[in-house]
A and B are shown apart, each in its own frame.
Chain A
Amino acid sequence: MATTLDKVEVVTVGVGWTGGIIAAELAKQGVKVVGLERGKERTTEDFQHIHDEYRYAIRYELMQDLSRETITFRNHRDDRALPMRQLGSFLLGEGLGGAGIHWNGQTWRFLPYDLEIKSMTEKKYGANKLGSDYNIQDWGITYEELEPYFYKFEQTAGISGEENEFSAPRNNPYPNPPMKETPITKRFKDAAKKLKLSPFHMPSGNMSQTYENPDGQTIAQCQYCGFCERFGCEYGAKSSPIVTVIPTAKQTGNFELRTHANVTEVIYDGDKATGVKYIDLQTGEEFIQPADIVVLTSYVMNNSRLLLNSGIGRPYDPESRTGVIGRNYCYQILPGATAFFENEKFNTYMGAGSLGATVDNYNGDNFDHSNVNFIHGGSISTTQTGQRPINNNTVPSDTPNWGQQFKSESIKYYHRNLSIGAQGASMPHRNNYLSLDPDYKDIFGDPLLRLTYDFTEQDRNLHNHLTEKCVEIGKEMGADRVEPREISDHYSIVPYQTTHNTGGVIMGGDPETSAVNNYLQMWDVDNVFVVGASAFAHNGGYNPTGTVGALAYRAADGISKYIKNKGQLVKAAQNSEHV
């Protein structure tokens, strides 16, 4: 029997970057916000013993406890989906701050091309560039409209960087100067310049200097300790919700954080959401938290799952291509090359999560696609994130992966290999989507989310083209041997690839093909906002968090407007073309 609590104005489901941003912005305006977070509270003090590769990077201390809840996965619609029993391909975060604790901090703005990809692609290459099985669509917002929100997030997070002509245009410089130059970043830049490309320092959520953000929160200077991705920062030098937006929200006195609060359902009366149901994981008690506005700010997977399990919105059907919840799940394509050096050693054990150099020449529509059989592309970078010894045993491909030769070669090349990698854009395909699993349940008995996903022809063509570019750069960097990265026959849930999952509750201008409007307000339920990379209509050629942050600030504006005016904030597009 659930206990019904006093009503609040706004409840957020999950307290990471998006929940923290919503809470901070609204609480500063005097709105009462309750944040429900199923994990535990975490502070910088909890990361004193963080330099432990085995505990954090191998056994995934900061990640989701899959014994409670996971997803199921299959490559194709006619396969049987099976549970993702162990973490692998992507690492779902758990606890206060969410994945914003264990990210690397690489913080980008998606390109103007991304936001109007369908219109711009059709204008330049005609309507049939990709064929009809791809659901590419505009996002319902232009870059000019989103620009101030990008800057707002960069100011909050203290992003260090420098402008580049091929990246998204900026109205203001970055809040902080770029990270340090190192022999590795310089090597990449020199090679790129020789190839007539335009290299620059990667924009970073690790601080190049101590920084106070507009909310008065201080982020310390990065120490380049080499433990960033999969770790929390023991210095508070990696921008994260727990050193920025969450303390900001708390300081207003208008934000109440409840940890160990696992939301299982958004309560929906057929017209509006009336609140959420959650279980206190420490006592087993069930609560109903009534609210005027429900904001879903969990990870991509659970934003879709909660809506589907709550019967909110129209589930996507890949056969008829109708419905929206679960539509346009995308991932990231990872072209790349490994450069082996016989006579040089690099300090690869040092680093920071977003210490790197990048070229954007092959991203978006920055190059002509008339004679290639794919659209978009990706940013290409060399990063120096700190190579730790368990996870980094890179050997030439003709070396076995155990035994004396392996031992010898993996030791030899540990400081003698550099990787050139792309964050390749991922285009939506009708058969790649999220739905509920008919068989497998979580510990509460609720259906797991089912992921149906495989690589497409577009993905393979993009991969091969950008991999060639990575190989060229690797050779120009003076490597003795450069090996191209391969794309597997099918997408596999097993090896780590990237935690850049997107889509499922996508934004757009048309309720027939999108679940939320450009304020991330649901078309079907006015008082539900769904915030995160779940709103991406496709995934661009960058790490997603910069765009997630911008959309969260946009959504916070939308919620403010909704509190004043109620109703739909955006007029739906008329007569748009439906596929």
Chain B
Amino acid sequence: MAERSTMSRRRFIKNTSYAAGGAIGGGFIGTLIGRNLLDDNQEVKKDSKTESLPDFNHALMHFTNQKEFQVLSAATERIFPEDDNGPGAIKLGVPFFIDHQLAGSYGHNDREYMRGPFFPGSDFQGYQTRLKRHEVFDVGIKAIEKESNNEFDAAFVDLEGKQQDQILQKFQDGDVKLKGVTATTFFELLRSATLEGAYSDPLYGGNGNMKGWMMKEFPGNYMSYLNEISKEKFIKKEPRALRAHIQS
């Protein structure tokens, strides 16, 4: 067994992508096993120079109409509101996350089967609309605003939270008729995209400052829990994001 453990260390290094890929400098390799590669604190510091830089990423790739983007923002905030636990969807950057995702392969269903013919199908057969996600959002967001005007004679962003919830509930329940897609399909996309924006790696523009992870006590990207997996007590760790893997 003694021989194995000597060999195991060398072979471990040989096999791991960090050694093989050469992306992490030699100094890291010796400390890789059972250790974490990343800096202790990745949270953007308030006093750093980055504070004064504008967030160029907070601009629109998909939406062309800012009012519609505000409807989207307000809706995501009701799905994942700011509360005692911490920030809601807007502060986490979720609306920008969704806007940017809609402009890319997610919004355009690039890796999905989008050939016809199209039929409505049963609940058990899944997504069957000919609309792509970016079109579903366009139809859905316009319908939220319209429903708000019908129901309360006011813009969605001007409603009380409870009133906004009533509108969104009608969408989840399928009680609003949309063109080309069911309101339930739209709502479920909106709901899941909001959670994705709250909890994905901050590289995608949501989960601002990893605050989504902090609320949930999810530490993000740690390379090893080998020495902690058997511990009795819950271990709270500072979150770490993927950008640490990029060498400057």
Instruction: List residues of A whose CB falls within 8 A of some B CB.
Output: 43-49, 51-54, 58-60, 65-67, 69-70, 73-75, 79-80, 82-86, 88, 180-183, 209-210, 212, 218-226, 234-237, 243, 345-347, 349-351, 355, 384, 388-390, 393, 401-404, 407-408, 411, 414-415, 439-441, 488, 490-494
Q: Are B85 and A212 in contact (CB under 8 A)?
A: no
Within B94-131, the residues touching A (CB, 8 Å) are 105-106, 109-115, 117, 119, 121-128
- Among the listed A47, A52, A182, A401, which residue makes an inter-chain contact with B242, where contact means beta carbons less than 8 Å apart? A52
Which residues of B have CB within 8 Å of A54? 196, 200-201, 204
Instruction: List residues of B whose CB falls within 8 A of some A CB.
Output: 4, 7-9, 11-12, 14-18, 20-21, 23, 34, 78-81, 83-85, 105-106, 109-115, 117, 119, 121-128, 165, 168, 172, 191, 194-196, 199-201, 203-204, 212-213, 215-226, 228-232, 234-235, 242, 245
- Among the listed B113, B127, B212, which residue makes an inter-chain contact with A389, where contact means beta carbons less than 8 Å apart? B212
Q: Are B20 and A44 in contact (CB under 8 A)?
A: yes
Q: Are B200 and A225 in contact (CB under 8 A)?
A: no
Total A-B residue contacts, Cβ distance less than 8 Å: 213
- Among the listed A47, A80, A389, which residue makes an inter-chain contact with B17, where contact means beta carbons less than 8 Å apart? A47
In chain B, what residue has the closest Cβ to A73?
B125
Which residues of B have CB within 8 Å of A346? 234
- Among the listed A73, A345, A349, A393, which residue makes an inter-chain contact with B195, where contact means beta carbons less than 8 Å apart? A393
Q: A218-B11, A408-B83 are in contact. Are A440 and B115 (CB under 8 A)?
A: yes
Which residues of B have CB within 8 Å of A347? 225, 228-229, 231, 234-235
Which residues of A have CB within 8 Å of B222? 51, 225-226
A214 → chain B closest CB, angstroms: 15
Which 3 pairs between the two chains have the least Cβ-Cβ distance? A210-B8, A54-B200, A345-B234
> Considering the chains assembled together, what is the distance between the CA atoms of A388 and B223 in angstroms?
14
Q: Are B111 and A404 in contact (CB under 8 A)?
A: no
In this complex, which of A212, A224, A346 has the most chain B Cβ atoms within 10 angstroms of its Cβ?
A224
Q: Are B7 and A390 in contact (CB under 8 A)?
A: no
Which residues of B have CB within 8 Å of A218? 11, 14-15
Q: Are B15 and A220 in contact (CB under 8 A)?
A: yes
Sample (24) of A-B pairs whose CB atoms are under 8 Å apart: A44-B15, A47-B17, A51-B221, A51-B242, A54-B200, A83-B113, A180-B230, A181-B230, A183-B231, A183-B232, A220-B11, A221-B226, A223-B34, A223-B226, A225-B222, A235-B12, A235-B16, A389-B199, A402-B172, A403-B81, A408-B84, A415-B217, A440-B115, A490-B124
Which residues of A have CB within 8 Å of B34? 223
Contacts A44-B20, A407-B81, A494-B124 supplied; 8 other A-B pairs, CB < 8 Å: A75-B122, A86-B112, A182-B230, A225-B223, A225-B225, A403-B165, A411-B85, A414-B216
In this complex, which of A83, A212, A441 has the most chain B Cβ atoms within 10 angstroms of its Cβ?
A83
Which residues of B have CB within 8 Å of A212? 7, 11
B231 → chain A closest CB, angstroms: 7
A455 → chain B closest CB, angstroms: 11
Which residues of B have CB within 8 Å of A414? 216-218
Prevailing SS type, chain A contact patch? loop
> Considering the chains assembled together, what is the distance between the CA atoms of A67 and B111 in angstroms?
5
Which residues of B have CB within 8 Å of A86? 109, 112-113, 126-127
In chain A, what residue has the closest Cβ to B86?
A411
Q: A51-B242, A80-B119, A403-B165 are in contact. Are A66 and B225 (CB under 8 A)?
A: no
Q: Are A58 and B196 in contact (CB under 8 A)?
A: yes
Which residues of A have CB within 8 Å of B8? 209-210, 220-221
In chain A, what residue has the closest Cβ to B76?
A402
> Considering the chains assembled together, what is the distance between the CA atoms of A345 and B218 in angstroms?
13
In chain A, what residue has the closest Cβ to B118?
A82
Q: Are B225 and A223 in contact (CB under 8 A)?
A: yes
B131 → chain A closest CB, angstroms: 11
In this complex, which of A43, A79, A181, A210 has the most chain B Cβ atoms within 10 angstroms of its Cβ?
A210
Q: A403-B165, A414-B218 are in contact. Are A235 and B17 (CB under 8 A)?
A: yes
> Considering the chains assembled together, what is the distance between the CA atoms of A49 and B172 in angstroms?
35
Which residues of A have CB within 8 Å of B122? 75, 79, 490
Which residues of B have CB within 8 Å of A384? 229
Q: Are A75 and B234 in contact (CB under 8 A)?
A: no
Q: Are A236 and B234 in contact (CB under 8 A)?
A: no
Q: Are B229 and A224 in contact (CB under 8 A)?
A: yes
> Considering the chains assembled together, what is the distance between the CA atoms of A404 and B21 in angstroms?
44
Which residues of B have CB within 8 Å of A65? 111
A353 → chain B closest CB, angstroms: 13
A227 → chain B closest CB, angstroms: 9
B210 → chain A closest CB, angstroms: 11
Q: Are A85 and B112 in contact (CB under 8 A)?
A: yes
> Considering the chains assembled together, what is the distance between the CA atoms of A46 and B23 in angstroms?
11
Which residues of B have CB within 8 Å of A224? 224-226, 229
- Among the listed A223, A389, A440, which residue makes an inter-chain contact with B223, where contact means beta carbons less than 8 Å apart? A223
> Considering the chains assembled together, what is the distance between the CA atoms of A24 and B182 in angstroms?
51
Q: Are B125 and A82 in contact (CB under 8 A)?
A: yes
> Considering the chains assembled together, what is the distance between the CA atoms of A424 and B215 in angstroms?
36
In chain A, what residue has the closest Cβ to B234?
A345
Which residues of B have CB within 8 Å of A75? 122, 124
- Among the listed A48, A181, A440, A493, which residue makes an inter-chain contact with B125, where contact means beta carbons less than 8 Å apart? A493
Q: Are B225 and A226 in contact (CB under 8 A)?
A: yes
> Considering the chains assembled together, what is the distance between the CA atoms of A346 and B229 in angstroms?
10
Q: Are A236 and B16 in contact (CB under 8 A)?
A: yes
Q: Are B127 and A85 in contact (CB under 8 A)?
A: yes
Which residues of B have CB within 8 Å of A181? 230
Which residues of B have CB within 8 Å of A52? 200-201, 203, 242
- Among the listed A60, A83, A210, A441, which residue makes an inter-chain contact with B12, where contact means beta carbons less than 8 Å apart? A210
